[in-house]
Amino acid sequence: MTGTVDVEDVLSKLNNVEKVALLAGADWWHTIPIKRLGIPAIRMSDGPNGVRGTKFFNGVKAACFPCGTGLGATWDVDLLRQAGQLMGDESKSKGSHIILGPTINMQRSPLGGRGFESLSEDPVLAGLGAAALVNGIQDKDIAATIKHFVCNDLEHERNGTNAIITDRALREIYCLPFQLVVKDSKPACFMTAYNKVNGIHVSENDKILKGILRGEWGWEGMVMSDWWGTYSTSEAINAGLDLEMAGPTRWRGMALQQAVSVGKVHQHVLDERVRNVLNLINRVSAAKIEEYAPELTADTPETAAFLRKIGGESIVLMKNEDKILPLSKDKKTLILGPNAKYAAIHGGGSAALAAYYAVTPFEGIKSQLTSDPLYTVGCYSHKELPLIGDILKTANGETGISFKAYNEAPNVPDREIADELVLTKTELLMMDYNCSKLKSDLWYGTIEGTYTAEEDCDFEFSLGVYGAAKLFVDDKLLIDNDTVQRKGTMFFNCGTAEEKGTIPVKKGQAYQIRVEFSSAPTSKLDPGSNTLFGSGAVRIGGAKVIDAEEEIKHAAALAKNTDQVIICAGLNSDWESEGNDRDNMALPGYMDALITAVTAANPSTVVVMQSGTPVEMPWISSTKAMIHAWYGGNETGNAIADVLFGKVNPSAKLPLSFPKRLQDNPAFLSYKTERGRVLYSEDVYVGYRWYEMLDLPVLFPFGHGLSYTTFEISELAISKSDASLKVSVKVSNTGDLPGAEVIQVYVSQKNPSIKRPKKELKGFKKVYLEKGESTTVEVEIETKYATSFWDEVRDSWIIEKDTYDVLVGSTSEKIQVKGEFEVGKTSWWKGL
């Protein structure tokens, strides 16, 4: 892709058929080129924690960053800008002009299936963090896409749900992070939410797209729909939706041409939408990415080092009684737990990608110990049985499975192979699979691999599918997911339930595993939204059958005779995934029982928790040490080990409140869609705003995070003008190690005319200090952002004449210095 186009000249030469063509995707990831006028196709790619490229199925490997809440936990805008820059470089390696991220929807509830993708429950932390990521991405001339605008805060019936919300909550909580991103980074693209807001789908919501985004905020960029999140022709175009994704079009084409011809869409509106697409094409031309460029890897030592650094910077030290952490590298160590030898590097759905590599916690910890650790699994935590690609071998001895595609069914003799691949992952999302030799949508696949048993045991296999499939072991049918099918939650909530079968295996014996698959048209399920998946999908899992209670006893016995114990616990991409929300906050299976038993057996036990959103911890009072490691990207295991052994002094802070129980959460009674609507009944009291207003104790407060050193905040000074509020404090490292502290600035209005939260985060800054070092830290905030709430009567932000408290601390609960300032005159404002 070379050079730019003269937008106005090209507009004058395009006919309406061509203009309409430019306003919808050509396929999953590309726009449509107009060759005669030199308009190239441009490419886009997910997503929020790495750049996948154009393939869910058998994709080119990529860098995986910590999940959104992990990025938010750094509270470090400089580091996030660097992360954005690396994402920009990754995008170039994948030939992608546009990154579909970051995600900044609000976490109303811990149960949100995509909660892990977003940065925070607080709009200021989310907005400033996302602006830094956007600036980094766009430093590399790659277009960032901020998403999902707005109130796309749950997965349950997400395409049709109607978010019923006050204007005040919409502005102060849900729109504010997007507003801050526009103000501080001017993202090239916005992606509309799937849902309705107050009765109108966002992709055709004139008030939100034209009134707020383009009108009040003055944003100039391109608006695209989420994938199949366009629901109309004229309404969406007129409201301001430029690009319908994905392609080919469902709503534009001939329908839009006719709408223009009969005046339902005026010519100047069509031209404006095309102008926005052409301006974006010009903007990304500076990246010098060729049209339909090959997708390459960029797995460098520098990338690995950065991912390890940001992984470590995202890990929160939650608890450290008796200074159990950092651990010794020389002591006899037991590692256990379901996440020990499983690399939980990302959540599920759009955030998933094929990583360059994935370091498990066991591998990372073992690499820093002077002697080999003991290990036992302790318990399982999977929702679906773990994928088994890494324990299977092909006929040629390669790790993984062989995949062969055919036009004919297995009962056709001498059928010809249309495609043959070796795959390492036994979850095959074939929504974007294409093979020129396959003659129709109906085709067949044979998946084969050899499993060699490591011990005498019962081994359980599982099979999920969109399409139909049967699993054979040594040519004997074990699982039939074809004859009868049950609806499940796999594959973005479109596939079957997981069906299982168990066989006894003998150590050292090889077993031939074969799955006969038929494509999407053979599915017995109600089609629903399954058209999303094109060719279909299949998932093959497996695990040794264990007696959970006996395994816990075994783990506790090992722990009792070990110097130090590390439990790797938490969730994974089965539990936290696009397409469905969690049912509760509990850890799955026997994990609570395992942690309780092991910590009782050995008080020197450290819990390493991985989840993208809060979980219940009934054992926390008897656990002396814990870190929260989110989903940490490629370097997950190394980053965890770096914190456990003190190579990294933890400095992350929680971007979310961790409630004690689900019932305490502000959205507890109004989270799922009911008869097509979800009521945002907690209004502006999201996250810590709710817990503080009700004096409701939490497990861990917003902004919480410990260090291996100690800090003191003192000498508050406040300087206020009509334009800005400058808050400075002295920060001292009073401990024995170098480290970093996050200065959190909250503001509270003393006598508001309406109810307001007790305090609200308005600014923050991370500072690194050597042992014994002190420095002055200044946080500057625009006065109007520090003081305002949304006046629904005037339809504007209001700054009230009043006294305002400034509260500065290291967490939302630990306020160390206080001051105040005055606003002498009430005023209103709109815009940025």
Cα 521 to Cα 536: distance, rounded to the nearest angstrom: 8
Q: How many CB atoms lie within 10 A of CB 481?
A: 27
> Which residue, 494, 491, 495, 492, is CA-closest to 481?
495
Residue pair 479/463 in contact by the 8 Å Cβ criterion: yes
Residue pair 452/509 in contact by the 8 Å Cβ criterion: yes
Query: Residue 395, exposed/middle/buried by CB under 10 A (0-12, 13-18, 19+)?
Result: exposed
Q: Which residue has the tokens 């031209």?
A: 271
Token pair, residue 272, equals 């404006």
> Which residue, 202, 214, 192, 102, is CA-closest to 148?
192
Cα 546 to Cα 553: distance, rounded to the nearest angstrom: 12
CB contact set of 695 (below 8 Å; sequence gap of 6+) = none
Q: How many CB atoms lie within 10 A of CB 302?
A: 10
Active-site residue, selected from the candidate residues 226, 482, 574, 581 = 226
CB environment 128-151: b (16+ within 10 A), e (fewer):
bbbbbbbbbbbebbbbbbbbbbbb
> What's CA 110's distance to the chain center, in Å?
14
Residue pair 671/155 in contact by the 8 Å Cβ criterion: no
Cα 191 to Cα 229: distance, rounded to the nearest angstrom: 10
Rounded (10°) CA dihedral 387, 392, 396, 399: 60
CB contact set of 483 (below 8 Å; sequence gap of 6+) = none
> Phi and psi for 245 in degrees, rounded to 5?
-125, 150
The count of residues in the chain is 832
Token pair, residue 144, equals 């960032």
Angle between helices 636-644 and 301-314 (to 10 degrees): 50
Q: Could you tell me whether strands 417-423 and 401-406 are parallel, antiparallel, or unpaired per DSSP bridges?
A: antiparallel
Report which DSSP code applies to 212.
I
Token pair, residue 436, equals 């020129």
Token pair, residue 334, equals 């037991």
Q: How many CB atoms lie within 10 A of CB 297?
A: 16
CB environment 211-225: b (16+ within 10 A), e (fewer):
ebbbebbebebbbbb
- Known catalytic residue at 226: yes
Token pair, residue 685, equals 């009291």
> Which residue, 428, 399, 392, 427, is CA-closest to 514?
392
- Distances from the Cα of 823 to the Cα of 751, 785, 786, 832, angstroms: 12, 13, 11, 20
Cα 828 to Cα 132: distance, rounded to the nearest angstrom: 28
Q: Looking at the DSSP assignment, which residues form a beta bridge with residue 828?
A: 798
Cα 679 to Cα 667: distance, rounded to the nearest angstrom: 9
> Which residue, 44, 227, 46, 53, is CA-closest to 152?
227
Q: Which residue has the tokens 């977003």?
A: 118
Tell me how far apart the terminal alpha carbons of the chain are, to the nearest angstrom: 35
Residue pair 816/705 in contact by the 8 Å Cβ criterion: no
Token pair, residue 562, equals 């070990």
Rounded (10°) CA dihedral 361, 367, 373, 377: 20
Query: Residue 439, exposed/middle/buried by CB under 10 A (0-12, 13-18, 19+)?
Result: exposed
User: Looking at the annotation, which residues are catalytic?
Assistant: 226
